Amino acid sequence: MTRAAKILVPLGNGLKVKVFYHNKCFDGASSAALFSRFYRERIRSDVDFEFSGLLHRAGALFDESHFDGDENAIVDFKYSSSPKITWWFDHHESAFLSPADAAHFERDDSNRKFYDPAFKSCTSFIAMIGQQRFGFDPAPVADLVRWSDVIDGALYSDAKTAVEMQEPAMKLTMVIESAPDQGFVPHLIPLLATKPLAAILEEPFVAPLLPPLLKRHEISIEILRQRAECTDGTIFFDITDQELEGYNKFVPYYLHPESVYSVGLSKSSFRVKVSVGSNPWAPEEPVVNLAKICERYGGGGHARVGAISFNVNQHAAAIRASREIVNELRAAVRSGRR
């Protein structure tokens, strides 16, 4: 493919580019990092970036007043039809909040908004679009792109590898998912765009977090060992009484390799979350589209993994939804085994 012309506009004063990303997510942080590197190299050189995390929650996902950059980008998160959003990249099957949003995207001809659910990670999607359409060279961040695919696409060789957390990217994932404050990931993102992953782990604001998180990981395995039950190929567990929303999502499959699906309930300060997943190493092929199931309850995701967020005062509704989904998945497994 012919290399694209460079679109680089130097400015006298730093343009404010606000990048909204999927918070507490390795691919979300990596997408923000890659987008910022791409933008600085191929669009404008004199730029001030501001990073703002977005979380799936019950109710409105966006606050229009927060779109206050000279340019506003959303990466690895749902579509917004706001005219203030100038860039958008996503790869989730449930990318649109409504048919109207999907239609709005289809009408867009800005060459600044991109969607492809076939990609394992949004990071690799941005790398491809940046390279093919804008002449961006993703080679210096190839390790970040590769690990975003591995982590978001669950491309580990086995559950043991996914749970043992040996690689720097996996340790960073644990740190990002358990970020101690709102400023932590925005501080980390510029490093993801410029430094090796192993070197980031040695940063003074990162290194002290690892030992307690690894200990917490060990404890979470034991809690899930006690709570997770697997019947008809489907795991169910409720850990809403524990501070474990950022648990390693592969632990249930490590504990129950015979499983096909999992449904878990967890709780944080602002939501009760129903996590729905499928075992990447399942003894039989998962056939149920989990994004479609989650969409019925206001959530979404991918065909193989999804989630639903309920308000903290909707615990009973979350339990009811999780039980309905468990019953549906168990019936699907039983039906497939006949």
Residues 39 and 153 in one domain: yes
Domain boundary among 201, 229, 250: 201
* Contact assessment for residue 293 and residue 325, using Cβ atoms and an 8 Å cutoff: yes
- pLDDT reported for residue 138: 97
Determine if the pTM surpasses 0.85: no
Report the domain count for the chain: 2
Residues 33 and 177 in one domain: yes
Residues 177 and 251 in one domain: no
Listed in sequence order, the residues at least 6 apart from 317 whose beta carbon sits closer than 8 Å to its beta carbon are 310
Residue 68, token pair as written in the block: 């206050």
The answer to whether position 209 is within a domain reads no
Residue 275 is part of a domain; what is its CATH number?
Answer: 3.10.310.30
According to DSSP, residue 287 is labeled: -
- pLDDT reported for residue 246: 74
The answer to whether position 9 is within a domain reads no
Note the maximum CA span of the chain.
69
Residues 173 and 238 in one domain: no
pLDDT along the chain (338 residues), means of 10: 37 80 96 98 95 81 92 97 97 93 96 97 98 97 98 93 94 91 94 98 96 94 97 97 85 97 92 95 94 94 93 94 98 86
Residue 196, token pair as written in the block: 């090796």
φ, ψ at 182 (rounded to 5°)? -65, -25
Given the structure tokens 């878990």, which residue do they identify?
Answer: 264
Distance between CA atoms of residues 311 and 299, nearest Å: 12
- pLDDT reported for residue 180: 79
The answer to whether position 292 is within a domain reads yes
In DSSP terms, 234 is beta-bridged to: 231, 261
* Contact assessment for residue 300 and residue 98, using Cβ atoms and an 8 Å cutoff: no
Residue 250, token pair as written in the block: 């592969």
The answer to whether position 140 is within a domain reads yes
- pLDDT reported for residue 59: 63
The domain in which residue 291 lies consists of 218-336
- pLDDT reported for residue 269: 82
Residues 186 and 222 in one domain: no
Kind plus residue range of the DSSP H or E element containing 276:
strand 272-278
Residues 178 and 118 in one domain: yes
Residues 72 and 30 in one domain: yes
Domain boundary among 201, 233, 262: 201
Helix and strand numbers (H, E) in the chain are 12, 11
According to DSSP, residue 233 is labeled: T
Given the structure tokens 């501001």, which residue do they identify?
Answer: 50
In DSSP terms, 16 is beta-bridged to: 48
The answer to whether position 160 is within a domain reads yes
Listed in sequence order, the residues at least 6 apart from 49 whose beta carbon sits closer than 8 Å to its beta carbon are 17, 18, 19, 36, 39, 190
Residues 283 and 329 in one domain: yes
The answer to whether position 211 is within a domain reads no
- pLDDT reported for residue 10: 41
The answer to whether position 10 is within a domain reads no
Alpha carbon dihedral 83, 87, 88, 89, in 10-degree steps, equals: 170
Listed in sequence order, the residues at least 6 apart from 181 whose beta carbon sits closer than 8 Å to its beta carbon are none
Residues 223 and 315 in one domain: yes
Domain boundary among 201, 235, 263: 201
Residues 236 and 132 in one domain: no
Kind plus residue range of the DSSP H or E element containing 101:
helix 99-107
